[in-house]
């Protein structure tokens, strides 16, 4: 979601005449888009800001702006602590960034979360900036796979999570705006879309989206988007297990271009910890949904998020997380040591674990996940897979399968251009990527 927000801010700045540079010293504006989901991400922002102090001293006209969740959370405190920062903008003001920068010419301004909020109807950026500077970065390459935000904020208040505080309440975008945005992207050459939200499954629940007189939910949106002509691949993220309905699971059978891949964060394998996390499901509900997904779409790749060392997590709770890993055999996972976040209920819970113990559990979890990922990846060896090419230069090609696995192909023919779909035979599996070869009959 931060990547998409950065794209939107870059687009808004480009429209206002800014050019992107990859040389920090050449910049007249440095904008940090920030994440505060874990303490470590937040520390990185302050250390980066500290290192920019010297640049500002050398170039007093340089503007430094902080956006995103840390900006939302800390507001004025950032300016108080870092006097070289010009502007701090909250998560819901990214669309007005050029005006806010204009206003901050003389006065330092901190802007925070507004109470009522509707996501604007913005036109997606579909190509590079209008007049690229010579030193333009690689991010200016046309991207054939794009993110489209369908909702913002979250109402779930998992006890460890800062998102409802930094991003505000859940708001769904209008279906017509989403469809129009995707149509524009496809007309420009995009072939793959990922629908984005903190909990896409509850799309249309808090501010009901209607279509004519009928209520409209996430499976309706998926069906409508999937039928837009020219869309080759459709994905979505993230799904909260409690809101993953049977109707949504069936979409994996019914919608041809919906990729067989789902990120389904479980967080813990222990019912006791899930309750303390306020996740509102238990492991047996979760497994029922996983089994249904696998039954309906046997080739589905399932990934997850795990927090180890949540306050009060015993060795037995942790063992249950490891057991879940063996049961589901996730294709991959993102795992984190629990960290206290401001305002969250978990920050006040007792039973905090030491950093060393959290580190030990994380290492043990990741070691086993890596082994399972490798075993999972080996299941693809010897099979032909369709790859969406992301780049191909000097004989080195990289693309992704429908299950979102990265495939590297050596000695790929030059005529295969990014954005095309090719068939590759998987010849080798690593933990984090696959190697493929293009069969002679497919060249
Ligand atoms: N909306 C998504 C997740 C958003 S945050 C969902 O509900 O799944 C991304 C991930 O960061 C979470 O899934 C969780 O695993 C992790 N995370 C969030 N808060 C955390 C904290 N305080 N400590 C450690 N990890 C955390
Ligand atoms: Fe955070 Fe829970 Fe909302 Fe995900 S569902 S963003 S983890 S509060």
Atom of ligand 2 nearest to the CA of 240: 5
Ligand 2 centre to CA of 206 (Å) is 15
> 74-81 long-range CB contacts below 8 Å, 24 or more apart?
75/110, 75/112, 76/110, 78/49, 78/110, 79/108, 79/110, 81/46
- The pLDDT > 70 percentage for the chain reads 91
160 lines ligand 1 (CB under 6 A): yes
Task: Name the most confidently modeled range: 17-26, 81-90, 345-354.
Answer: 345-354
Whether residues 106 and 133 share a domain: the answer is no
Quick check: is 284 in a domain? no
Q: What is the pLDDT of residues 229-259, one digit of tens each?
A: 999 999 999 999 999 999 999 999 999 999 9
**pLDDT value of residue 58:** 92
Whether residues 64 and 127 share a domain: the answer is no
Ligand 1 centre to CA of 161 (Å) is 6
| Domain end call among 240, 259, 278 | 259
| Domain end call among 259, 294, 320 | 259
**Residues with C-beta less than 6 Å from any ligand 2 atom:** 154, 156-158, 161, 163-164, 198-199, 240
Quick check: is 220 in a domain? yes
Instruction: Among 150-154, 246-250, 319-323, 377-381, name the one with the lowest average pLDDT.
Output: 150-154
Whether residues 124 and 85 share a domain: the answer is no
Whether residues 146 and 193 share a domain: the answer is yes
Q: What is the pLDDT of residues 38-73, one digit of tens each?
A: 888 888 899 999 999 999 999 988 999 999 999 988
Which CATH number do you get for residue 76?
Answer: 3.40.50.12160
Question: Is this model's pTM higher than 0.85 or not?
Answer: yes
Which CATH number do you get for residue 250?
Answer: 3.30.750.210
pLDDT bin (cut points 50, 70, 90) of residue 353 is: very high
Number of domains the chain is built from: 3
pLDDT bin (cut points 50, 70, 90) of residue 132 is: very low
198 lines ligand 1 (CB under 6 A): yes
Tell me the best of 305, 334, 343 to mutate to test the pocket of ligand 1, counting ligand atoms within 8 Å of each CB and taking the most: 305
Which CATH number do you get for residue 407?
Answer: 2.40.50.140
Q: What is the pLDDT of residues 286-318, one digit of tens each?
A: 999 999 999 999 999 999 999 999 999 999 999
> 400-405 long-range CB contacts below 8 Å, 24 or more apart?
400/145, 401/434, 402/233, 402/259, 402/260, 402/261, 403/259, 403/260, 403/261, 403/299, 403/300, 403/301, 403/331, 404/235, 404/259, 404/261, 404/301, 405/301, 405/331, 405/377, 405/380, 405/433, 405/434
| Domain end call among 63, 89, 112 | 112
Whether residues 131 and 252 share a domain: the answer is yes
Whether residues 132 and 20 share a domain: the answer is no
Whether residues 233 and 138 share a domain: the answer is yes
How does DSSP classify residue 348? G
Whether residues 128 and 225 share a domain: the answer is yes
pLDDT at 128 over 60: no
Residue whose Cα lies nearest atom 11 of ligand 1: it is: 37
Quick check: is 171 in a domain? yes
Cα first-last separation, the chain:
37
Angle, helices 175-187 vs 218-226, to 10°: value is 30
What is the average pLDDT score of the chain? 90
Whether residues 178 and 159 share a domain: the answer is yes
DSSP secondary structure of 382-398: T-EEEEEEEEEETTEEE
Atom of ligand 2 nearest to the CA of 278: 2
Nearest to 234 by CA among 251, 211, 217: 251
**pLDDT value of residue 358:** 98
Whether residues 102 and 160 share a domain: the answer is no
Residue whose Cα lies nearest atom 12 of ligand 1: it is: 305
Tell me the best of 307, 341, 343, 358 to mutate to test the pocket of ligand 1, counting ligand atoms within 8 Å of each CB and taking the most: 307
Whether residues 145 and 105 share a domain: the answer is no
Whether residues 177 and 224 share a domain: the answer is yes
Quick check: is 351 in a domain? no
38 lines ligand 1 (CB under 6 A): yes
Quick check: is 349 in a domain? no
**pLDDT value of residue 319:** 98
pLDDT at 137 over 50: no
Enclosing domain of residue 87: 2-112
């Amino acid at each position: 979601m931060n990547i998409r927000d950065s794209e939107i801010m870059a687009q808004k700045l480009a429209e206002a005449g800014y050019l992107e540079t990859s040389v920090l010293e050449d910049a007249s504006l440095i904008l940090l888009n920030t994440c505060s989901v874990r303490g470590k991400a937040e520390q990185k922002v302050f250390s980066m800001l500290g290192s920019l102090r010297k640049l500002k001293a050398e170039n007093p006209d340089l503007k430094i702006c902080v956006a995103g969740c840390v900006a939302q959370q800390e507001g004025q405190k950032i300016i108080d602590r870092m006097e070289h920062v010009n502007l701090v903008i909250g998560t819901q003001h990214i669309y007005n960034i050029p005006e806010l920068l204009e206003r901050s010419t003389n006065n330092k301004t901190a802007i925070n979360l507004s109470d009522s909020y509707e996501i604007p109807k913005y036109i997606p950026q579909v190509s590079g900036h209008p007049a690229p500077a010579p030193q333009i970065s690689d991010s200016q390459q046309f991207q054939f796979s794009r993110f489209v935000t369908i909702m913002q904020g979250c109402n779930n208040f998992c006890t460890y999570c800062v998102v409802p505080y930094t991003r505000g309440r859940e708001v769904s975008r209008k279906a017509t705006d989403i469809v129009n945005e995707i149509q524009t992207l496809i007309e420009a050459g995009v072939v793959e879309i990922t629908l984005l939200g903190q909990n896409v499954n509850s799309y249309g629940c808090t501010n009901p989206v209607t279509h004519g007189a009928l209520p409209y939910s996430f499976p309706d949106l998926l069906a409508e988007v999937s039928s837009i002509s020219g869309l080759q691949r459709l994905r979505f993220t993230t799904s909260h297990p409690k809101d993953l309905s049977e109707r949504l699971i069936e979409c994996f059978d019914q919608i041809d271009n919906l990729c067989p891949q789902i990120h389904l964060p479980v967080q813990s394998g222990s019912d006791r910890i899930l309750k303390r996390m306020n996740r509102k499901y238990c492991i047996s509900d979760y497994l029922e949904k996983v089994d249904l997904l696998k039954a309906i779409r046997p080739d589905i790749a399932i990934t997850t998020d795990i927090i180890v060392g949540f306050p009060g997590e015993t060795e037995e709770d942790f063992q249950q997380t490891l057991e879940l890993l063996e049961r589901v055999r996730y294709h991959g996972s993102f795992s984190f040591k629990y960290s206290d976040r401001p305002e969250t209920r978990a920050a006040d819970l007792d039973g905090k674990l030491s950093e060393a113990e959290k580190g030990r559990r994380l290492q043990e979890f990741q070691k086993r996940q890596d082994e399972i990922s490798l075993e999972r990846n080996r299941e693809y060896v010897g099979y032909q897979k369709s790859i969406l090419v992301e780049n191909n230069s000097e004989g080195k090609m990289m693309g992704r399968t429908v299950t979102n696995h990265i495939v590297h192909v050596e000695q790929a023919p030059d005529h295969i251009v990014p954005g095309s779909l090719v068939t590759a035979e998987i010849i080798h599996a690593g933990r984090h990527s696959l190697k493929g070869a293009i069969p002679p009959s497919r060249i």
